[in-house]
């Protein structure tokens, strides 16, 4: 459940600088900065990408960026400022994107996260994501990525038994 003082909306081009700064601070710490304002702006403007902003009044407290392909989606970034973590905002953003994916005919959501980010990994596992691969030196040539995926189609009793095969499509 989303806290009552938080609203979710589509991000605007005016949000790009703050989203990029949050990415640098909360996601890309210690790495080269790849999610610059220009890159975030391109994603907000793209018809293949949804960028959500969660706000308390006018303050951006969380965001999510997800690319929608033909049959799968890729959760590129998700960040929640520390004071607002563990209150359901991240879960709400992922649920919103998942519902959008179902409407768009998406079967699988994929993502990568730093192998050292145990908190994020537990978060995604609680949402039903499972590890499908590890990619050494994925992050700036210095850190391994854990690649995770989740089949979001309704009516399935748990994870798809052979999700690795599903991801090869």
**Active-site annotation, residues:** 112, 124
Contact criterion met (CB below 8 Å) for 71 and 105: yes
CA 109, CA 150: separation in Å to the nearest integer? 5
Closest to 35 (Cα-Cα) out of 18, 53, 55: 18
């Amino acid at each position: 459940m989303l806290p009552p003082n938080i609203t979710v909306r589509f991000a605007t081009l005016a949000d790009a600088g703050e989203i990029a700064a949050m990415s640098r601070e909360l996601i890309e710490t210690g790495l080269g900065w790849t999610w610059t304002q220009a890159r975030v702006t391109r994603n907000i403007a793209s018809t293949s990408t949804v960028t959500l902003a969660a706000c308390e009044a006018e303050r951006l407290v969380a965001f999510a960026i997800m690319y929608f392909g033909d049959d799968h989606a890729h959760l590129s970034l998700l960040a929640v400022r520390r004071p607002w973590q563990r209150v359901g905002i991240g879960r709400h953003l992922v649920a919103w994107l998942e519902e959008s994916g179902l409407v768009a005919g998406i079967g699988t959501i994929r993502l990568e996260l730093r192998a050292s980010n145990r908190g994020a990994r537990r978060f995604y596992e609680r949402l039903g994501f499972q590890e499908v691969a590890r990619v050494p030196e994925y992050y700036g040539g210095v850190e391994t990525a854990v690649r995770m995926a989740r089949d979001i189609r309704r009516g399935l009793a748990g994870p798809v038994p052979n999700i690795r095969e599903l991801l090869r499509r």
